[in-house]
């Protein structure tokens, strides 16, 4: 799946990322959220820049994850200028303003299935965060080819409430 995602043309990924983000921005969950948790896209991941800028424009608090030990914690982001490369080279906010409970959490992944399970990068950061912090609504963000019928999962895997692709939002 990563190989397929990495082989997509940059222009095509940008267009598809924009469409998927637009679906999230138009959703009732985004519109009603006061605190939006997102991620700094890296490599061929679906971009989040449009939904972050729209959230900021609407006066919402935007929080991004920081890797701290074997956990991720979300911190408010004032501006992209303040982001610094973290442990895995992913841009992270400084640990100055911890986010309160996140209303809408946008989650990256290698693949998602139609039951809401995700295949991440193998460290369990998002599964632990989702099970401990329990954001109000978690939505996976992916390209349509990353949405599969089913994935193997176990009792530690957290489920998404929805998955957004360039084709729309699948509510689960």
Structural domain including 120 reads 2-171
115: CB partners within 8 A, 6+ apart = 150, 159, 172
Question: How many domains, the chain?
Answer: 1
d(CA 18, CA 111): 19
This prediction has a pTM of: 0.93
User: How far, in Å, are 28, 36, 76, 156, 163 from residue 33 at the CA level?
Assistant: 8, 6, 14, 27, 17
CATH number at residue 48: 3.40.50.10420
- Reading the chain (172 residues) residue by residue, the pLDDT tens digits are 657 655 665 667 889 999 999 999 999 999 999 999 999 998 889 999 999 999 999 999 999 999 999 999 999 999 989 999 998 899 999 999 999 899 999 999 999 999 999 999 878 999 999 999 999 999 999 999 999 999 999 988 999 999 999 999 999 9
Q: Residues for the chain: how many in total?
A: 172
* Residue located via tokens 């954001």: 135
């Amino acid at each position: 799946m990563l190989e397929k995602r990495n082989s997509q043309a940059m222009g095509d990924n940008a267009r598809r990322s924009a469409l998927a983000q637009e679906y999230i921005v138009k959703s009732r969950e985004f519109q009603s959220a006061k605190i939006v948790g997102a991620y700094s896209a890296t490599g061929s991941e679906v971009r989040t820049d449009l939904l972050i800028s729209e959230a900021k424009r609407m006066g919402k608090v935007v929080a991004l994850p920081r890797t701290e030990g074997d956990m991720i914690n979300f911190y408010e982001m004032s501006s992209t200028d303040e982001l610094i490369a973290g442990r895995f080279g992913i841009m992270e906010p400084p640990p100055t303003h911890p986010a309160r409970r996140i209303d809408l959490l946008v989650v990256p992944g290698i693949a998602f299935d139609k039951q809401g399970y995700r295949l991440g990068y193998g460290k369990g950061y998002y599964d632990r965060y989702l099970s401990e912090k329990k954001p109000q609504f978690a939505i996976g963000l992916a390209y349509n080819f990353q949405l599969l019928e089913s994935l193997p999962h176990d009792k530690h895997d957290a489920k998404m409430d929805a998955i957004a692709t360039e084709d729309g939002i699948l509510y689960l």
